[in-house]
Amino acid sequence: MPTFEYAPAPESRAVVDIASSYGLFINGEWVDGHGTTFKTVNPASEEVLADIHEGDASDVDLAVKAARTAYSRVWSRMSGADRGKYLFRIARLLQERAREFAVLESLDNGKPIKETRDVDIPLAAAHFFYHAGWADKLGHAGLGPDPQPYGVVGQVIPWNFPLLMLSWKIAPALATGNTVVLKPAETTPLTALLFAEVCQQADLPPGVVNIVTGARETGQAIVDHPDIDKIAFTGSTGVGKMIARSIAGTRKGVTLELGGKGANIVFDDAPIDQTVEGIVRGIFFNQGHVCCAGSRLLVQESIAEEVTRRLQRRLATLRVGDPLDKNTDVGAINSRAQLDKITQLSEAGEAEGAQRWDNGCPLPDKGFWFRPTVFSGVTQTHRIAQEEIFGPVLSVLTFRTPQEAVAKANNTPYGLSAGIWTDKGSRILWTADQLKAGVVWANTFNQFDPTSPFGGYKESGYGREGGRHGLAGYLKGSN
């Protein structure tokens, strides 16, 4: 199949104005941190974008104090209707400045502009819009007649959907009447810092939202702070377990959205062309930096060869490169550390005997890149079938019966997502019933919506985010 040649179609960078260095956003003001600074880079070019302050325990303490004061003096006394109006303002501001956020996100994260423009930023605005409406209707949420907020919430978010994960955290926390101290990921702080500006433009009372940048120790200081009432975290299962241990024996609330090893199950009656598109969406969307990615493809044996052949043909047309080019399908890997991890697990896949294939596309000279890769002949004991790779790497396994598909799909400590591809409605419902996964996509994959609860079974975490269920995580005693 010929690959069409496209002229470059870069989105303009002129819409963003990146400062050379950023402070911390505490009590509605920019302040310098007491710790050191670190640099955030564009992973597509390794260009340094800005110096970022690493908040230390004293900075976290200041932020918590600001959040506590804002909670007790302002936010907890405000009507739900007024809290909602602030959230509506924020939603509108995000929409107004959507292109700026999209370009900045692509620069700092490496993901393609078509995804930040069409997925990350619109969904982030939608999360604020959805939760805004809940703020004065919480008594109708089925979580008790007069549900109460925790107070001050500490939130730690990952680098794969920086602004979207911020909105998943801040929107429900504020709607339910909590104030927040949020730490963005160390490699992707810029959109969270721009969001602080949005809070100022919305005239959000000082201290309701505090943004403390930093790395692991900053996050630990938030988790351990005695005046934080609830922790919300999205990230790896390893860190999630550490947080669960840290808060054990306290009365802190917690929600954890952790790792996954999603099974994408293809039955022999599936519509093949649609399925191939769904497989691509499942594992190559956002470079595979998705906790709910369909990273294990389970194909019925009778069609495995055909599906693999058509998938490879489709992958040959994927365009890997400049995240700001509107034609780009797959962008840069977020960091060198992540690239090393993907490389190492892929080498383990080969060493353990799986067959490696990639689409052979050219890669830019600078930056962090990995070709869309497919492993066939994978068995359940292979590391690439058990461990989360968090990159554009698909492991293909086969099955003969629906029972075998379900057994293999559930054979993991994770339980976040799964996909089912078949033309038979009753088989969809039977399979969905059997799967131990918090989100199941039938004949589709990687769909997200603020009204739809997201979160996993087993070691994929505690609680749900989004929808009515997501509110429970921010209201005392309701989950």
220 makes contact with other proteins (CB under 8 A)? no
**257 annotated active-site:** yes
410 makes contact with other proteins (CB under 8 A)? no
Contact 19, 48 (CB under 8 A): no
Cβ contacts of residue 189 below 8 Å, gap of 6+? 22, 40, 52, 108, 162, 213
- Minimum distance of other proteins from residue 418's CB (angstroms): 10
Nearest C-alpha neighbor of 265 from the set 428, 421, 444, 395:
421
- Minimum distance of other proteins from residue 441's CB (angstroms): 5
399 makes contact with other proteins (CB under 8 A)? no
Nearer residue to other proteins within complex by CB, 175 or 193 = 175
Distance of CA 292 to the CA centre of its chain: 9
From candidates 145, 249, 360, 362, binder to other proteins by CB under 8 A? 249
238 makes contact with other proteins (CB under 8 A)? no
240 makes contact with other proteins (CB under 8 A)? yes
Torsions phi, psi for 333 (to 5 deg): -70, 140
From candidates 241, 313, 400, 424, binder to other proteins by CB under 8 A? 241
Distance separating alpha carbons of residues 467 and 454, to the nearest angstrom: 8
Beta strands in 238-340 (DSSP E): 253-257, 263-266, 296-300
From candidates 237, 275, 286, 373, binder to other proteins by CB under 8 A? 237
- Minimum distance of other proteins from residue 284's CB (angstroms): 19
Nearer residue to other proteins within complex by CB, 239 or 397 = 239
From candidates 44, 50, 93, 126, binder to other proteins by CB under 8 A? 126
CA-based torsion, 235, 236, 239, 241: positive or negative: positive
From candidates 245, 309, 400, 424, binder to other proteins by CB under 8 A? 245
Q: Is 95 left (phi over 0), alpha (psi -120 to 50) or beta?
A: alpha
Cβ contacts of residue 233 below 8 Å, gap of 6+? 155, 156, 157, 223, 239, 240, 243, 254, 255, 256, 257
- Could you tell me which stretch among 57-65, 87-95, 173-181, 235-243 binds other proteins (CB under 8 A)? 235-243
Question: Is residue 99 packed enough to be buried (19+ CB in 10 Å), middle (13-18) or exposed (0-12)?
Answer: middle
453 makes contact with other proteins (CB under 8 A)? yes
443 makes contact with other proteins (CB under 8 A)? yes
Contact 323, 427 (CB under 8 A): no
Interface residues with other proteins (CB under 8 A) are: 126, 142, 144, 237, 240-241, 244-245, 248-251, 256, 258, 413, 415, 428, 432, 435-444, 447, 449, 451-455, 457-459, 461-462, 464, 467-469, 472, 477-479
**Residues involved in catalysis:** 257, 291
